[in-house]
Amino acid sequence: MKNTTLKQQLKDKKNTVGSWITIPHQSVIDILAEAGFDWLTIDLEHTSIDYNELQILIGFIQARGMAALVRVSKNEEVVIKRALDAGADGIIVPMVCSMIEAKQAVEFAKYPPVGKRGVGLNRAQRYGYAFEDYKEWVSKHLVVIAQIEHIDGVKNIEDIISTDGIDGIIIGPYDLSGSLGIPGQYNEPIVQEALKKVEETCNEKAFSMGYHVIDPKIELVKDKQDAGYNFIAFSTDFLFMGRNASDEMKKLKQYL
């Protein structure tokens, strides 16, 4: 069942917490569902997940009552169309740096007359049995998130959040720091200064603002929520598993 609440939560700037799927297996989704996430994002940009796996994963996520988002590989028509036709509740579009690119993402996601998405019949449209229902759902509930992960996107943040059809933004801290010449050093003052500009602009406009908190530490999520971020991607599947295993093994080895 497709999600009909996330768009409204973004509009109302309600706190939601999701995570990042990189391992294409039902068990991963089931485990994270039991943890209580509101949504999960399937990453098509930095993983080997293919479109067949994508459609299966979307179904598993939705069956567990969570919104299924897809971080597409790029801001491109066919890439976005295929992710949405597979049934995603929304998309996260990487490297949005201007109003033009934000408008492009919306156009690729929405049907005419709002956008220019091509019409096809797949899982999203129930293979032709419910195109009219799906078309209405798209107009009311489809979520489009612009990922701000370059200093140019920061400079143009006001234009981006003013774009009709953009429901929220999410910071990608690694690439943002990379665009400033210090990849991975996202706690450095120059990166924090860029974040402050985004925070001040979005908070002033009461616009939904997201952040991908990489380290699986609850205090980092709390810090971002205190700064006004309400759309938090909390770590990734492999970090939850890897960090916990590593931490517990370090403790265990003290007794071996």
Catalytic residue of the set 25, 46, 150, 212: 46
Confidence (pTM): 0.96
Q: How far apart are CA 25 and CA 119, in angstroms?
A: 29
Other C-beta atoms within 10 Å of 244: how many? 11
CA 77 to chain centroid? 18
Q: Give the strand pairing for 231-236 and 209-213.
A: parallel
What are 110-164's pLDDT values in tens digits? Answer: 999 999 999 999 999 999 999 999 999 999 999 999 999 999 999 999 999 999 9
Reported CATH class of domain 6-253: alpha beta
Q: Active-site residue 46, yes or no?
A: yes
> Quick one: which of 149, 212, 215, 214 has its CA closest to 178?
149
Q: Report domain extents, the chain.
A: 6-253
What are 162-202's pLDDT values in tens digits? Answer: 999 999 999 999 999 999 999 999 999 999 999 999 999 99
